[in-house]
Amino acid sequence: MVDLPRWLTDDDRHTWLAFLYAQTLLLEQIEQDLQRDAGMPLAYYQILVILSEHPGGALRMSELASAAFFSRSRLSHAIDRMEKSGWIRREACPSDRRGSIAALTDAGRRVLEEAAPGHVESVRRHLFDQLSDREASELRDVCEKLVRYLLRSLNVSAPSVLPNDYFGVQPGDSLNDARSLP
Amino acid sequence: MVDLPRWLTDDDRHTWLAFLYAQTLLLEQIEQDLQRDAGMPLAYYQILVILSEHPGGALRMSELASAAFFSRSRLSHAIDRMEKSGWIRREACPSDRRGSIAALTDAGRRVLEEAAPGHVESVRRHLFDQLSDREASELRDVCEKLVRYLLRSLNVSAPSVLPNDYFGVQPGDSLNDARSLP
DNA sequence: CCGATCTGGTTGATGCTTCAACGAACGTCG
DNA sequence: CGACGTTCGTTGAAGCATCAACCAGATCGG
């Protein structure tokens, strides 16, 4: 006995394609801008941001990985390259001899400060300039709902460092305002 | 004289992060399901879908590239690998001796038919089961608006094969209903 | 017809990600 | 203590994407 596949409705199919294409094209555009202006992919920018927002500009590898939604392996390779660029320095962890700490260097902080204005401008132009306030807020609500679900479904354990407070379980939670580099 | 950078408002920053994380986590989840169940990345699945929806299951490389939002180079490499898997066959183009045509093989069609039900189920579970009808339709509207803008901004020329009719310039355009594999 | 230019597609090098495997340090429990 | 399972981080290989260079065929202007 065979389960007949249940296709999507036309509406849902169009929604899915619209999401897929919007996501593809928007990220492509923003990545291109960032690559051209700052010579780094968005993922690396995010690493720099997370470190810069953390007191001391340093974080255990595994905390950094979960804050950025990176696998340990991906992070390890990425930090390799950023270390070669001089943006990050690895330090030993005093409390756990297995551990390793990624610390922002002065060069890393500088490169982030130089990249940030252009990147913010790019996000504004390609995303927020195209949407009304109402649309932006609808987009936010939908995305936050998805993130809450996906964090439960995918990981089981939510990251403990950064976006923890953004997408807390209880819908009424107060939001974190880490107000530094975007 | 220095332009002070104009940061995003807190609202916009949260919206951007929500979008970024939702997109990352959702795609990661769906890609994982597809990779596990069908042994292919989402991008390759999309290629197979586009071909299967085209009469004859064949398309010029450059049309295929623009329909899938691939660069020529990316497509060429991808078709290399799919040809090795036996899913696609390259044919000469009769009308233009430079040209090359990618044609779905029987094995390619079979692998797509086997992959589709699981993939559709994955999209349904991770996306539509999490949203109300109202939320899905808000998401669609926002994404279609972004796609229309991005097609204009990025490419200048919209793809001529598939999603042409989905995201036409005039908001009132009739939507294409290529009703086959999702 | 001929040279200049443009388009379609491929290629190779390089960059980033994933996957599987691993060693070293930690924690626990007999 | 000592064996066991677990966590931390790294590594190498393989998969996929991007970038720049390139050739062959088409196209256009004299």
User: Which tens digits make up the pLDDT trace of B95-132?
Assistant: 999 999 999 999 999 999 999 999 999 999 999 999 99
Q: Does domain A23-130 have CATH number 2.170.120.12?
A: no
For the segment A113-127, the average pLDDT, to the nearest whole number, is 96
How many C-beta neighbours within 10 Å does residue A132 have? Answer: 11
CA dihedral B37, B81, B67, A21 (to 10 degrees): 50
Q: Are A95 and A51 in contact (CB under 8 A)?
A: no
If you measure CA to C1', which residue is closest to nucleotide D18?
A: B74
Helix (H, G, I), strand (E, B) or coil at A91: strand
The chain B residue lying nearest A115, using CA atoms, is B5
**What is the reported pLDDT for A182?**
42
Task: Give which of B143, B174, B180 to mutate to test A binding, by max A Cβ within 10 Å.
Answer: B143
The HSE-up count of residue A68 (CA atoms within 13 Å, CB side) is 28
CA-to-CA distance for A50 and A57, rounded, in angstroms?
A: 8
**What is the reported pLDDT for B114?**
95
**What is the reported pLDDT for B152?**
87
**What is the reported pLDDT for B3?**
58
CA-to-CA distance for A80 and A66, rounded, in angstroms?
A: 17
Q: B49-86 burial, b if ≥16 CB within 10 A, otherwise e? A: bbbbbbeebbbbbbbbbbbbbbeeeebeebbeebeeee
CA-to-CA distance for B93 and B15, rounded, in angstroms?
A: 47
**What is the reported pLDDT for B1?**
58
Whether residue A159 has pLDDT greater than 90: no
Does the CB of B160 fall within 7 Å of any strand C atom? no
CA-to-CA distance for A162 and A50, rounded, in angstroms?
A: 7
Tell me whether residues A124 and B6 touch, CB distance under 8 A: yes
**What is the reported pLDDT for B100?**
97
**What is the reported pLDDT for A35?**
96
For the segment B141-159, the average pLDDT, to the nearest whole number, is 80
Beta strands in chain B (DSSP E): 58-60, 88-92, 100-104
Q: Are A30 and A126 in contact (CB under 8 A)?
A: yes
CA-to-CA distance for B4 and B7, rounded, in angstroms?
A: 9
CA-to-CA distance for A12 and B25, rounded, in angstroms?
A: 19
- Give chain B positions within 8 Å (CB) of A166: 14, 17-18
Structure token digits, residue A70: 């990176």
pLDDT single digits (tens) B68-100 = 999 999 999 999 999 999 999 999 999 999 999
- Give chain A positions within 8 Å (CB) of B29: 150, 153-154
Whether residue B19 has pLDDT greater than 60: yes
User: B82 CA, C14 C1': separation in Å?
Assistant: 22
Strand partners for A103: A58, A89
pLDDT band for position A13 (50/70/90)?
very high
pLDDT single digits (tens) A68-97 = 999 999 999 999 999 999 999 999 999 999
Rg (Cα) of chain B, in Å, rounded?
19
Of 1.10.10.10, 3.30.1300.10, 3.40.50.300, 3.30.930.10, which CATH number belongs to B25-131?
1.10.10.10
Q: Is pLDDT larger for residue B173 or for residue A139?
A: A139
**What is the reported pLDDT for B2?**
59
pLDDT single digits (tens) B30-70 = 999 999 999 999 999 999 999 999 999 999 999 999 999 99
Whether residue A62 has pLDDT greater than 70: yes
Please name the residue that has the structure tokens 């045509």.
Answer: B101
If you measure CA to C1', which residue is closest to nucleotide C23?
A: A98
Q: Where are the domains of chain A?
A: 23-130, 132-172
**What is the reported pLDDT for B5?**
67
* DSSP 3-state percent helix, strand, coil across chain A (nearest 5): 65, 5, 30
Q: Is pLDDT larger for residue B129 or for residue B2?
A: B129
pLDDT band for position B172 (50/70/90)?
very low
Q: Which of B120, B130, B166 sits opposite A14 (nearest CB)?
A: B166
Tell me whether residues A16 and B131 touch, CB distance under 8 A: no
For the segment A160-174, the average pLDDT, to the nearest whole number, is 40
Which residue from B68, B135, B34, B161 is spatially nearest to A12, judged by alpha carbons? B135
Least confident residue range of A131-140, A161-170, B118-127, B171-180? B171-180
On average, the pLDDT of chain B sits at 86
